[in-house]
Structures are given as structure tokens and as C-alpha cells.
Amino acid sequence: MLDGIIISIDAMGGDNAPDIVIKGIEYFLSHEGSGRRARFLLHGDAEALAPLLEKAPRTRERSEVYHTESAIAMDDKPSQALRKGKGTSMWNAVASVKGGQAGVVVSAGNTGAFMAMSKLQLRAKKGVQRPALAASWPNLSGDMTVVLDVGANVECDAAQLAEFAVLGEAYYRAIYKKSEPSVGLLNVGTEEGKGNAVVKIANERLSQSQLGLNYLGFVEGHDISKGTVDVVITDGYTGNIALKTAEGTAKLVESFVKEALTRNIWSKFTSALNGWALHKLKKKMDPRRANGAVFLGLNGVAVKSHGGTDRVGFANALNIAMGLAESDFQDVIDARLDALHDEDDNIGFIS
């Protein structure tokens, strides 16, 4: 076994795999990962990986290749993916975490398939009804807001939302090194009495809790970008739609900006200056910074990179994976979940 933090990689997952995957690891090792003791188990086609590793000396030095014959396609349905199952690079990458050879698995492949395989092999933690997918979002204060669930569970009850609060808070602490991240529950208004039955019950449950969560109550849609709280809890249906609506809106505004800056009567004269401004903007809005959604609540850590990302984005997903593997956040979650469910029993909470 390798020493240091061991990251299992689905080398064949993603729109531009395995090329971007290896370039992403190399980039990570030259930047955020430089000097940290990361090692990689590369699950994929050994023949395809060999020439790529030739050109990636840092990666080569810190990796072991585990050959696989097959891979999950980006458009396979989760059920198809599970049938292909064992022997695919994705399955085997997850299996390394299950078997204890690696601390965390990263894939840029098919999201549904990765969720299904992670759940099936790693199983939900004791005390977690269903794992959730957490995403990071840039906000006005220059920090990140973590939102969960963004798509793993289309229907959630109040007890699940309370569990998400525990999962999200521990995740935020581990990744963004904040000691008491604040938590809010997404709703249509901030007054008590607003919202559907599920969020009302969850709000009451979290407000009364003595767990020590920094729970601030209801927040609204605009609070995500504002950074009113660090962690925003919601069901997977609403969270997924909010995330995609935000992505769409960001693209819309960017397109308006581009038009405003380039369709200008002095356009030729100012194009260089405006190009610079656009470059700055692009950097600030860089979706790669926020790349890496995490499945929380499993016995093991699974990080999903965006399928179409480049090496910088993949490196960011690796940075998240490494940060989680280095932290004690799974233990924190276990302790907090125990306390939450003890409290449930004491107050007779039934969701």
C-alpha cells in the first residue's frame, strides 16, 4: 500500500477522459497539491494511460495503474451502468474506497451512475436515511456557499433535512476551514409560518436542537449568492432547480455583458481594454473554482467532478477530495448524527 493520502480515480470518466484526468492530476500536483502527500490509484485502460503518464512525470511517480477493460458511458442510465458494473473503471474506483485501499474516490463520469455505484458499494452511514449531493457556489462576500441536496433525493422529509444540516456543516468546516459555519433552510420567506409542512417541521426541529449547530433559520433564494449563511439546506428537487437556474442566469448576464462591451461604438478602440476586463470577470466567475460536488452521508467519500471540466477544474475536485481525506469530517458527522438521533428519541421526533 502507498503511504500518504490515497485517492482512487475513475480515469475513464468524463467527456475528455482519460486525457484531462491525467492532466488534472499533474496540474494538481504542481499547484494546490504540491508538497502534499497525495497518491493515486488509477482505474482505467492501461494502454490508453501509458502514453499520457509518459508526459506527466509527477503523476507517474505517485500513481499505480489498475487496468480495466470497460467504462461507463456518459449517457448510460444508472440501471444500465449497474448492469455493466464490476470491471468498469468507475465501479473499481469506488471499490478501492470500499476495500479500504483509498480514502476517497473522484470521478468526472456519469453522475447518476456514480451516485448509484457509490450508494450500492459504500452504503449510507449509520444514522443517514439517504446520502445527499453537496455543491459549492460563489457568493458576494467572496466566499463559497454550500448547497445540499442538489439532486440525489427528489423528495425529502424533515428528518432528512435535519441530517443534511449535520452533513453540510461538517463538510463546510472540513473544506473551507471555518470553525462555526452557519446553516440556513431554503424557503419562500423568512418568517415562521412560511413554506410547506416539511420545511416548517425541519425548521422547528433544527431551531430547538441543542447540537451546537449555528442554525440561523429560513433563508430565501437570493441568500445563496448573497452568502447570508455558509450552508443552505434544501431537498434535491428544489436544490437541483436552484443550482441550474443560477447557472443559466449567470450565463445570461455574462452574455449581456459581452454584448455591452463589444457592441460599443468605440469597440475597436476599446477591445483590448474590454478584453482585459472580460478576462478578469471570467476568472472571478470561473465555474472551475466551484467544481467538485460531494456525496455526503456515505461510508467513504465520493467526489464528482463536472464531466466537461478541464485540468484546472479536475484539479479543484482533487483538492476537495484531498481536503476531505485529510480531515476528520466523517468522525464529526458520526458523532453529530448520534447526538441528533438521541435528541430525536428524547423529544419523540417523528418526521
Residues in contact with its own copies by CB under 8 A are 138-140, 151, 154-155, 186-188, 194-197, 220-226, 234, 236-238, 240-257, 259-261, 263-264, 266, 270, 273-274, 276-278, 280-281, 284-285
- 190/214 with CB nearer its own copies: 190
| CA atoms of 208 and 256, how far apart (whole Å) | 45
CB of 285 to its own copies, least distance (A): 6
- DSSP annotation of 44: E
In which region does residue 100 sit, left (phi positive, over 0), alpha (psi from -120 to 50) or beta (all else)? left
Residue 55 or 251: the one with the smaller Cβ distance to its own copies is: 251
Shortest distance (Å) from residue 47 CB to its own copies: 34
Residue closer to its own copies by CB (options 95, 134) is: 134
| Cβ at position 194, least distance to its own copies in Å | 8
What is the nearest approach in angstroms of its own copies to the Cβ of residue 302?
A: 19
CB of 314 to its own copies, least distance (A): 22
276/348 Cα distance (integer angstroms) = 60
| Least Å from the CB of residue 309 to its own copies | 17
Nearer to its own copies, 149 or 334 (CB): 149
Q: Dihedral through CA 149, CA 151, CA 157, CA 160, nearest 10?
A: -40
Find the shortest distance in angstroms from Cβ 251 to its own copies.
7
Give the DSSP per-residue string, 208-232.
H--S--EEEEEE-THHHHHTSSSEE
Kindly calculate the radius of gyration of the chain based on its CA atoms and give it in whole angstroms.
21
* Rounded (10°) CA dihedral 322, 324, 328, 330: -140
DSSP per-residue codes, 71-137:
---TT--HHHHHHH-TTBHHHHHHHHHHTTS-SEEEE-S-HHHHHHHHHHHH-BPTT-SS-EEEEEE
Q: Which is nearer to its own copies, 15 or 61 (CB)?
A: 15
- Name the strands in the sheet holding 38-44, side by side, starting at the edge strand that comes first in the sequence: 63-67, 38-44, 5-10, 104-107, 301-304, 293-296, 132-138, 144-148, 231-233, 182-186, 214-219
State which residue, 29 or 290, has the beta carbon closest to its own copies: 290
What H or E segment, with its residue span, contains residue 30? helix 19-30
Q: Which is nearer to its own copies, 210 or 268 (CB)?
A: 268
